[in-house]
Structure 1
């Protein structure tokens, strides 16, 4: 049984079609990359997986059960099941809160078991930040450290699925590498969905990938096989843009 699946999903924002007949299944323990240019519908897929949007047609299921976004109890459970990491570490953290509160607020909001302070210490250690980070404000940290805090906030719920939306695009190269290394470590224990326009990042993190063009899946399968022999012209163009760059696959 898939952790999350989209079945023949269409989605439109007002009168603008965004997704067309999208079907995918996220399996336990895998890292799935969703690749596409800006406006291709990548982030919309994450919103559907999070329950922040409902499909115009088709269905979204979590652990085989339809995701009813109108049910408060269902969505409370879903927030513990899946957590997001957003693109910009400078805007995703409330600058008025110390890190301790940033981490413990979702613990209380989701009615999570265990001691909130102990859980905050656990996730800070998991992302490689010192315990005394809890007493500092986000402005005291670099961009890469802020993204680690955002990842720690997602991990506080002990989710089974982590949805990362362009998690390194706002970072400099050296910091980007360190965050990718962290995500690689986390992917050994948690199911990861990575959205990116950068095929090199997807290749570094995800053994399986989906390629989106204008809201349609044009190619999907093993990352290594797609990189070796892309079938769709759109994927071929993306790879051609990286012909002088080394691309490693997990």
Structure 2
């Protein structure tokens, strides 16, 4: 059974202007999935649907094998326990007025999760390689890479089975990117990753499965290495020619 799925999904923000058309995908436990495409291809909209931030006009979203009804508070709460996001910009993703401790414990309270908050904060700080005294500090005291680690820790504290990451390293410098990719690679042994990125090197490093979107439609899907080595669709060929690639 898949953890997350879209079945023949159609979506539009405005009538007559479809953003997604007939999109289907399935995320199995451990089946880390990369989603690539140009700006406007529908990548972020796919993540919004998978997060339960919007409902499709056609088709359906499945959460742990069940149709997701975002009008149900109980269904959304269960979905939030299954899936947590990591956003692109660590500078805007964290409330500067809050301590790291409060940032991390908010999901525990919002989702009514069991466990000792202090112990859970210690657990996730260790998981992202931040010292225990980070809990008493504020986001302004940290570098961009450290802030992204805090954002990842906030996602992990709910013990989700899936992390949905939207360009999680694009706002970071090169050396920091490498450290965050290494962190995500380690976490992916226990948590399934769905990654949206323009950077094919990042996708290739983290995701064995790849999906290519063009104007709201899937034009290619399969094993990442196979697609990178021998793309079959002309759009994928053009995309690969224009995006950063792993050195040979």
**1:32–1:206 CA contact under 8 A, matched in 2:** yes
Name the TM-score, length of structure 1 as normaliser.
Answer: 0.96
In structure 2, the residue matched to 1:8 is 8
Query: How far does the alpha carbon of each residue in 1:17-37 deviate from its partner, in whole angstroms, 9 at most, with x for none?
Result: 110100000011121000111
- For the pair 1:96 / 2:97, whether they are aligned, the reply is yes
User: What secondary structure, in the 3-state scheme, does the structure 2 residue paired with 1:70 have?
Assistant: coil
Correspondence 1:105-116 to 2 at 5 A = 105-116=106-117
Aligned-pair CA distance for 1:163:
0.3
Greater displacement, 123-132 / 194-203: 194-203
Aligned-pair CA distance for 1:198:
1.6
Query: How far does the alpha carbon of each residue in 1:46-94 deviate from its partner, in whole angstroms, 9 at most, with x for none?
Result: 1111110000100111121100101111111111110000000000000
User: What secondary structure, in the 3-state scheme, does the structure 2 residue paired with 1:34 have?
Assistant: strand
**Inter-partner Cα distance in structure 2 for 1:244 and 1:2:** 30
Which runs of structure 1 show a deviation greater than 4 angstroms over 4 or more consecutive aligned residues?
242-245
**Residue segments in structure 1 that go unaligned for 5+ positions in a row:** none
User: What secondary structure, in the 3-state scheme, does the structure 2 residue paired with 1:19 have?
Assistant: strand
**Inter-partner Cα distance in structure 1 for 2:232 and 2:222:** 11
**Inter-partner Cα distance in structure 1 for 2:67 and 2:214:** 26
User: What secondary structure, in the 3-state scheme, does the structure 1 residue paired with 2:44 have?
Assistant: helix
Aligned-pair CA distance for 1:199:
1.5
**Inter-partner Cα distance in structure 1 for 2:176 and 2:64:** 35
Aligned-pair CA distance for 1:243:
8.1
**Residue segments in structure 2 that go unaligned for 5+ positions in a row:** none
User: What secondary structure, in the 3-state scheme, does the structure 2 residue paired with 1:9 have?
Assistant: strand
**Inter-partner Cα distance in structure 2 for 1:122 and 1:149:** 12
In structure 2, the residue matched to 1:236 is 237
Judged with a 3 Å threshold, the aligned counterparts in structure 2 of structure 1 residues 13 and 244 are, in CA distance, closer, same or farther, namely: closer
Query: How far does the alpha carbon of each residue in 1:127-184 deviate from its partner, in whole angstroms, 9 at most, with x for none?
Result: 0000000010000000000000000000000000000000001011111111000000
- For the pair 1:199 / 2:203, whether they are aligned, the reply is no
Judged with a 3 Å threshold, the aligned counterparts in structure 2 of structure 1 residues 70 and 227 are, in CA distance, closer, same or farther, namely: same
Aligned-pair CA distance for 1:239:
2.0
Q: RMSD across aligned C-alpha pairs, in angstroms?
A: 1.2
Correspondence 1:125-164 to 2 at 5 A = 125-164=126-165
**Inter-partner Cα distance in structure 2 for 1:207 and 1:117:** 35
**2:100–2:134 CA contact under 8 A, matched in 1:** yes
